[in-house]
Amino acid sequence: MLVTGNEILQKAHKEYYGVGAFNFVNYEMLSAIFEAANEANSPIIVQASEGAIKYMGIDMAVGMVKILSQKYAHIPVALHLDHGTTFESCKAAVDAGFTSVMIDASHHPFEENLEETSKVVEMAHSRGVSVEAELGRLMGIEDNISVSEKDAVLVNPKEAEQFVRESKVDYLAPAIGTSHGAFKFKGEPKLDFERLQEVKKLTNIPLVLHGASAIPEYVKDSFLSTGGDLKGSKGVPFEFLKESIKGGINKVNTDTDLRIAFIAEVRKVANADNTQFDLRKFFAPGKEAIKKLIIERMNLLGSSNKI
């Protein structure tokens, strides 16, 4: 059943567990997410970036989610716009049937971010849609970073409190040291959990971890064994994901893991038989790999059996 992001995340916030927010760019990724949720008995957030929407077409993206959420009617599903860059983009998503949107004005100064977010909140709330915003900049924290440098890129908890109170945003992504993609940390992985706890205490709303892919060893090995190159890649360790949940993270954004798991399988098929050109022979194992990874992630985040 299609529900608002708030409906899923308020429960996670009260019971201190995390819900995976999984990106999709096609039917295979999307159906893998639904099938995993069905097996794990977990709520899900399925999210599309502006790039993904351009690739699929907004009506196709919404249409696929609607059909699958009717098929799996017992699963609470929120359809979320990932990293909306403008008011217009958020409005187009709301108009098309998204039940949650992110306005990402985190690269603007605080006041501008607050103003843009408040505008989106007003529009989305009047239509019954939940809103996410981001504070701080998504960047890995390096070992020798100074306190002032840290303060420049990571979320400021006092600002977070003011931002949430004034914008009335439903959930917030505080930058605590993660980054997008496969290369998250140069040295040892590091996240600022103290800062996270402070933000949770001061805001008391669901929090979001962007750049949360873990790049599990077996997925990386699977990609490397096909001749793929992921030199220097580093994800968020599993213990860090667990620690984040304890610190108040409720929405766990995951895209890179799914991409790597899927493409490793495609590469395997291509390597094994260079005469193969049936798309299904490539995509079916890719979809299964995503499904397996998502079920494992749901168990780790604590969203399994929360329906």
Q: Which sequence positions are flagged as catalytic? A: 82
Q: Of 44-52, 68-76, 116-124, 188-196, which segment contacts ligand G3H by CB under 6 A?
A: 44-52
Residue 212 contacts ligand 13P per CB under 6 A: yes
Verify binding: residue 211, ligand 13P, rule CB under 6 A: yes
Dihedral over Cα of 66, 72, 73, 74: its sign: negative
Would you give the binding string for ligand G3H spanning residues 77-116, x where CB under 6 A is met?
-----xx---------------------------------
Smallest distance from ligand G3H to CB 173, Å: 10
Q: What's the distance, CA 86 to chain centroid?
A: 19
210 binds Zn ion (CB under 5 A): yes
- Closest approach of Cβ 92 to ligand G3H, in Å? 16
* 180 lines the binding site for ligand G3H (CB under 6 A): yes
Q: Say which amino acid occupies 182.
A: A
In the bound state with ligand G3H, the residue whose beta carbon lies nearer, of 102 and 269, is: 102
Query: What string of DSSP letters covers 193-215?
Result: HHHHHHHHHHH-S-EEESS----
- 233 touches ligand 13P (CB under 6 A): no
DSSP string, the chain: -B--HHHHHHHHHHHT--EEEEE-SSHHHHHHHHHHHHHHT--EEEEEEHHHHHHH-HHHHHHHHHHHHHHTTTS-EEEEEEEE-SHHHHHHHHHHT-SEEEE--TTS-HHHHHHHHHHHHHHHHTTT-EEEEEES---PPPTT--HHHHHHHS--HHHHHHHHHHH--SEEEE-SS--SSSB--SSS----HHHHHHHHHHH-S-EEESS-----HHHHHHHHHTT---TT-B---HHHHHHHHHTTEEEEEE-HHHHHHHHHHHHHHHHH-TT---HHHHHHHHHHHHHHHHHHHHHHHT-TT--
Instruction: Specify the stretch interacting with ligand 13P by CB under 6 A; choose among 72-80, 109-117, 142-150, 210-218.
Output: 210-218
Among 13, 91, 210, 234, binds ligand 13P (CB under 6 A): 210
Q: Which is nearer to Zn ion, 181 or 227 (CB)?
A: 181
Q: Which of 4, 6, 23, 178 binds ligand G3H (CB under 6 A)?
A: 23
Q: List the one residue from 134, 255, 265, 296 that touches ligand G3H (CB under 6 A).
A: 255
- Of the pair 21, 269, the CB lying nearest ligand G3H is at 21
Instruction: Provide, rounded to whole angstroms, the least separation between the CB of residue 234 and ligand 13P.
Output: 11
The item of ligand 13P, ligand G3H, Zn ion, none sharing an interface with residue 52, based on CB under 5 to 8 Å by kind, is ligand G3H
Residues that bind ligand 13P (CB under 6 A): 23, 82-83, 180-181, 210-213, 253-257
Residues that bind ligand G3H (CB under 6 A): 23, 49, 51-52, 82-83, 180, 255
